[in-house]
Structure 1
């Protein structure tokens, strides 16, 4: 299944039916990419914030995080990705509850894991945590994930294409809210744990 998810980056129309076939034979194979791929942005974030650093607006000095705070931030990043995919999977199943093609929980999690692959891979830019670079990578990854959503919904869920537009927009709206909510919650947890600890290093 990991190989088919990689093919989504090259030829989504061909990869989605194969991914569905893999899911039919191995419904829990999504656990491997779901648990391993978020390690990429987490590890890159740890390296970028401790070794490369970043500068704040109006301040030319480069700032870094200590190993302890960077490790905590990387952990929050990992948990945020996993939690976001799981929450989205449950919402996808809920959005499709009136359709004959309503997926099982493993099916919806397979679908949302595949959609999140570009976002996870884009996390490699965290090696160089510059604001503009991060924003461009996030925008490109989100755009491709939206493409995967619209191409994959009829193919993976085996729905008629004319029925999927409404559901795709519903999932897109829920996904945007999920992304914002999970990011806010885990960043808030990280910030609260560092409150008053002076973890920034120059």
Structure 2
């Protein structure tokens, strides 16, 4: 069943990583996990952008047009899926440096379950206050980093000390990917695909 490790990575992450390692699912299964989880930020962005509106500081509530919100949500969905798959590829390519030989499925599992808390931060958009979303986003990011550090030695079958350095390299690559996604968003907005607001 898709998402069957979801509760475990929050309640007992190390044991859940061991469970994931013992019974690896297929590549499609791990990809399905990402595709389902990526719906959270995309759908919440559409709903909050069109129905709730965003409040930034003491200014007026800002809402998006339906078409603009739809384009934003679709772009976010495919950007998130592509970002997690790209992270999995980087995890796989970095493995040789650390004497690990993961399959693409193992790399994708590590990326998918590590990204899960960040994707679930999307629910914070149901209370679209910038300070609240930033706070929850920080908590989600911190837990994702914790999952990466705890899961890397288990999934990659390497010692803890190598796992720490490996995970640190993955965090660096993840930050670079995030910067690329943000830059792509700015370029798209500057090319006429920016959001349209309801006045």
TM-score clears 0.5: yes
* Alignment match, 1:39: 39
TM-score, length of structure 2 as denominator length: 0.91
More helix by share: 2
CA contact (8 A) 1:80 1:186 kept: no
Alignment CA distance shift 1:18-1:42 (3 Å)? same
**Is the CA contact 2:52–2:63 (under 8 Å) kept in the aligned structure 1?**
yes
Instruction: Provide Cα deviations, 1:19-77, integer angstroms capped at 9, x if missing partner.
Output: 11231x5343102111111011100010101111123456x321100000000111111
The answer to whether the Cα contact below 8 Å between 1:101 and 1:157 also exists between their aligned partners in 2 is yes
TM-score normalised over the length of structure 1:
0.90
> Would the aligned equivalents of 1:83 and 1:182 in 2 still touch at CA under 8 Å?
no
Gaps of 5+ in 2: none
Q: Aligned partners of 2:172 and 2:161: how far apart in 1? A: 19
User: Quick check: 2:9–2:17 contact (8 Å CA) kept in 1?
Assistant: yes
**Shift in CA distance, 126/163, structure 1 to aligned 2, threshold 3 Å:** same
Larger mean Cα displacement after TM superposition, 160-169 or 96-105: 96-105
2:26/2:105 contact within 8 Å kept:
no
Q: Give unpaired runs (5+ residues) of structure 1.
A: none
Matched, 1:90 2:122: no
Alignment coverage as a number of residue pairs: 198
Aligned mates of 1:17, 1:76 — CA distance in 2: 34
State the SS of the aligned residue for 1:28. Answer: helix
Distance 1:162 1:61, change over 3 A: closer
